[in-house]
Amino acid sequence: MTTFPKDFLWGGAVAAHQLEGAWQAEGKGVSLADVMTAGSNQTPRKITAGVQAGENYPNHTGIDFYHHYKEDIKLFAELGLKCFRTSIAWTRIFPQGDEAKPNEAGLKFYDDLFAELLKYDIQPVVTLSHFEMPYHLVTEYGGWRNRKLIDFFTKFARVVFQRYRQQVKYWMTFNEINNQAQLDDWFLFTNSGLQVQPGEDAAELMYQAGHYELVASALAVQIGHQINPDFQIGGMFAMGPSYPASPDPRDVMKAERTMQANYWFTDVQCKGKYPAWLKQYWNRQNYQLDITLEDEDVLKAGTVDYIGFSYYASHVVQATDAEADDFMTQASDTQVTNPTLQASAWGWLIDPVGLRYALNWFTDRYDLPLFIVENGLGAVDKFAKGQIHDPYRIAYLRDHIQQMALAIAVDGVNLIGYTPWGIIDLVSAGTGEMSKRYGVIYVDKDDQGQGTLKRWKKDSFTWFQHVIATNGQDL
Ligand code: BGP
């Protein structure tokens, strides 16, 4: 059975704000993540109005990757990684977001980081915007509700494309751009820097901001290809398939609606145009969106080269009478449990077959190369005498890799790589916890920010090392 191609990109994924720390080093500006406190499974993170004294901001220190990256990359090399997905912190390059000139010290940091990776033949894979835009763009411009953001973002993109045109081949524009479709306050803020004001329609605002991001992304694709025609520039989507709760056709329709409502961003980035149902929906809602004919041409000309996506869990949805044609009903309102699956300690349903389903769904719909740029299990690990036994993580990764192998060998899916999330423990984006760990490398730091920051290999490190060494043959 042919499974993983010879040049398959086994890797690991992180985002700058979740691990670098050094939040004020060498001119770095304040990002969205810098104004979010630590939360927990029970307590949501607070978004504070600027950095406030006396609050706990875990992203300020992360795991201090900024000062430890050489030692960490050495471990990645030992693990056998072929690629490493990270983001470039926008605030290191343009601290406020609207400056005329970039911050040279910030650019230099990524010169050094990428050089260190390449020294070990580890390819950097880069996300341009991963929940960490400059906070100044929120306070001064209202985030992505403002068309000016397109210029600020494309300027940032041009600068880093130009600077790293020899070092980086695989890029992604916006991390999980589709999360905001759920209209959750946290996602609206982290994705788009939006804070809904009294009297505003959150959905209309999200559509407007999303449109500007899509235009910015399409322009970035074009700019990138001009700078280096070999660049592969992808979209990045949060994929969590929605299954119908029963064979009742209304549940099946509900699942279809939920998929449409969550993946129209993907339609635009891959097909270059909005789906028909969405335009009808905007008309029915009487939304007055600023979408010009020129924008539509930009979207057409800036489709992505591949689909990057995260996959953690699937969902089950159930129809309720009132909502048949309301595309904005949040999936979570009508989610029901799935008795066939186990959940993680954070309630995320563990569904390896759902990953194969997702790979097929993307392929059937868009026929583009696929790159799984996040997947993994957030769990509490026990550290004892320098050892971390994490068979649950090994089982999770193994089961998902098995489904990837089937999708390649049986279904003919064009899957180019796999970068498990949080390959080294880092700050959780959703809760700000350190104790929600994904890594195969353990970092000694707790939720209160205490610890030596020493790195330790978990059992999953040795296991994943062997998986990569055998190109996924021996799981
Ligand atoms: C994705 C984000 C990541 C990441 C991951 C795990 O949504 O792209 O930044 O953190 O989810 O989520 P969490 O950290 O909340 O467990």
List pLDDT tens digits, range 405-457.
999 999 999 999 999 999 999 999 999 999 999 999 999 999 999 999 999 99
In 240-284, the DSSP E strands lie at 242-244
Return the sign of the alpha-carbon dihedral for residues 288, 290, 295, 299.
negative
Cα(375) to ligand 1 centroid in Å equals 9
Q: For the segment 273-311, what is each residue's pLDDT rounded down to a tens digit?
A: 999 999 999 999 999 999 999 999 999 999 999 999 999
Q: Which two tokens stand for residue 160?
A: 């880093």
Give a yes or no: residue 300 inside a domain. Answer: yes
Q: In this prediction, does ipTM exceed 0.90?
A: yes
Length of the chain: 475
Whether residue 2 has pLDDT greater than 80: no
Closest ligand 1 atom to residue 430 Cα is 15
Q: Is the CB of 378 under 6 A from ligand 1?
A: yes
Name the residue at shortest CA distance from atom 2 of ligand 1: 429
Angstrom distance (rounded) from CA 116 to CA 27 = 22
Which of 17, 125, 349, 374 for a ligand 1 pocket mutation test, highest count of atoms within 8 Å of Cβ? 374
- The answer, yes or no, to whether any atom of ligand 1 lies below 6 A from the CB of 15, is yes
pTM summary value: 0.97
Is 219 within a domain?
yes
Residue 56 resides in a domain: yes
> By the 8 A CB rule, do 36 and 56 touch?
no
Residue 2, domain member (yes or no) = no
Grade residue 42 by pLDDT with cuts at 50, 70 and 90.
confident
Give per-residue pLDDT as tens, 53-95.
999 999 999 999 999 999 999 999 999 999 999 999 999 999 9
Tell me the C-alpha distance between 243 and 353, whole Å. Answer: 12
Task: Name the nearest CA neighbour of 176 among 224, 222, 127, 231.
Answer: 127
Residue nearest atom 10 of ligand 1, based on CA coordinates = 429
Q: What percent of the chain has pLDDT over 90?
A: 92
Please count the structural domains in the chain. 1
Q: What is the pLDDT of residue 250?
A: 87
Does 404 fall in a domain? yes
State the Cα–Cα distance between residues 175 and 366, nearest whole angstrom: 19
Indicate whether residue 175 lines ligand 1 (CB < 6 A): yes
| Mean pLDDT value across the chain | 95
Residue 117 burial (CB < 10 Å; 0-12/13-18/19+)? buried
* pLDDT for 331: 46
Please compute the mean of the pLDDT values over residues 102-117 and round it to a whole number: 98
C-alpha span between 192 and 22 (Å, rounded): 23
CATH code of the domain containing 135: 3.20.20.80
157 burial level (CB within 10 Å; 0-12, 13-18, 19+): buried
CA 430 to ligand 1 centroid distance, Å: 6
Structure confidence at residue 328 as a pLDDT band (50, 70, 90): low
Question: What distance in Å separates the CA atoms of residue 445 and residue 264, rounded to the nearest whole number?
Answer: 39
- For 318-435, strand residue ranges (E) read 335-336, 370-374, 415-418
Report the catalytic residues.
374
Give the domain range for residue 300.
9-469
pLDDT at 45 over 60: yes
Residue 1 lies in a domain: no
Probe target for ligand 1 pocket from 187, 310, 423, with the most ligand atoms within 8 Å of CB: 310
Identify whether 474 is part of a domain. Answer: no
Instruction: Name every residue whose Cβ is closer than 8 Å to that of residue 363 and which is 6 or more positions away in sequence.
Output: 370, 411, 412, 413, 414
| Ligand 1: centre distance to CA 438 (Å) | 10
Rounded Cα gap, residues 136 and 145, in angstroms: 14
* Atom 4 of ligand 1, nearest CA residue: 429
Task: Name the one residue in this structure whose structure tokens are 């799984």.
Answer: 372
Query: Residue for token digits 């220190």?
Result: 61
Q: Whose CA is nearest to atom 3 of ligand 1?
A: 429
Supply the pLDDT for residue 41.
85
Q: Is residue 204 a part of any domain in this protein? A: yes
Could you tell me which residue, 333 or 232, shows the higher pLDDT?
Answer: 232
Residue type, 103: N
- Can you say whether the dihedral through the CA atoms of 461, 462, 467, 469 is positive or negative? positive
**Cα(272)–Cα(301) distance, integer angstroms:** 7
Q: What local confidence, expressed as pLDDT, does residue 329 receive? A: 52
Centroid of ligand 1 to alpha carbon of 310 (angstroms): 9
Span from the CA of 323 to the centroid of ligand 1 (angstroms): 29
pLDDT of residue 397: 98
What are the structure tokens assigned to 212, written together?
């500007």
Q: Where are the alpha helices (DSSP H) in 56-119?
A: 65-79, 90-93, 104-119
If you measure from the C-alpha of residue 38 to the centroid of ligand 1, how many angstroms do you get, rounded to a whole number? 14
Protein residue whose Cα sits closest to atom 16 of ligand 1: 428
Tell me, using a 6 A CB cutoff, whether residue 44 lines ligand 1: no
Give the number of other CB atoms < 10 A from CB of residue 253. 14
